[in-house]
Amino acid sequence: MAIVAYLGDNVKDYCKNTREKIEELELCCKNHPKTPLAFHSTYQRGIKETGEVVTIHVMICHECAKASKSDSKKGCTVAILPDFLSPHKHFGADEIETVVFQNDEDTPVNDIDTAASPYTVNRWLKEFGEKIGGWISNLKYIAIERDCVVSECALKELSAVESLKILLEALPRIKSCGNLLSRALLWWQTRSSPLSLSV
């Protein structure tokens, strides 16, 4: 499992004080809300288009670990990813956003400016097309909860990407790397993880 969080605007910023930034999040286990997550281990993660490598920190819930000794610690660790990375992707979030935002019906996949292969681009377009639809629904709900006014009629006329932009503009500004897809993921995640957003 992974939690995506704002931990700096870029790799250089992220690498400066990663542990301290993660500690400031005061993460607790979703199964044991009074149990803070503790540092457990690290692993290296590359960013394919830049060649940069970052250290990802893995947190553990000791209560879950005790309860699941016979289950190979299943569900008791969580990786904390900076929001300029996308979970389970070799490319950075900016590269993926660039591809998704360049896509339209008139642009052949081979003409999209990216270091990713056409196969990867097609996979991203399919995957993020589905995710954006879910994020839009979630952001509408969050906007209603926070009394942010968004015209449903205006959104009907827009593409999914444009609707996403409008909804994110209507919500309070949060700390993020600046990537719109990352901001949508951070908002979506507030409904399913122990992470609170920094305004």
The C-alpha atoms of residue 36 and residue 19 are separated, in whole angstroms, by 14
- Least confident span in 1-15, 128-142, 148-162, 172-186: 148-162
Q: How confident is the model at residue 23 (pLDDT cuts 50, 70, 90)?
A: very high
- Identify the residue whose tokens are 């900016």: 94
Q: Which of 150, 135, 129 minimizes the C-alpha distance to 187? A: 135
Largest pairwise CA distance in the chain = 55
Long-range contacts of the stretch 35-44 (C-beta < 8 A, 24+):
35/61, 35/62, 35/63, 37/61, 37/78, 38/62, 40/77, 41/77, 43/79
Q: What is the DSSP letter of 170?
A: H
Tens-place pLDDT, residues 103-112:
776 678 888 8
The C-alpha atoms of residue 134 and residue 181 are separated, in whole angstroms, by 12
Residue 125 CB-density burial (10 A; 0-12 exposed, 13-18 middle, 19+ buried): middle
State the pLDDT at residue 74. Answer: 58
**DSSP H/E element including 77:** strand 77-82
State the pLDDT at residue 73. Answer: 47
| Other Cβ atoms closer than 10 A to 174 | 15
Q: How confident is the model at residue 188 (pLDDT cuts 50, 70, 90)?
A: confident
The C-alpha atoms of residue 121 and residue 91 are separated, in whole angstroms, by 11
Domain boundaries, the chain: 2-189
Specify the higher pLDDT residue, 113 or 74. Answer: 113
- Least confident span in 7-11, 14-18, 73-77, 123-127: 73-77
Mean pLDDT across the stretch 12-36? 90
| CB 112 within 8 Å of CB 102 | yes
State the pLDDT at residue 182. Answer: 92
The C-alpha atoms of residue 11 and residue 79 are separated, in whole angstroms, by 17
Task: Say if residue 7's pLDDT is above 70.
Answer: yes
State the pLDDT at residue 75. Answer: 63
State the pLDDT at residue 91. Answer: 95
Task: Say if residue 165's pLDDT is above 80.
Answer: yes
The residues with which 44 forms a beta bridge, in sequence order, are 55
**Torsion sign over Cα 195, 22, 47, 103:** positive
Mean pLDDT across the stretch 130-151? 90
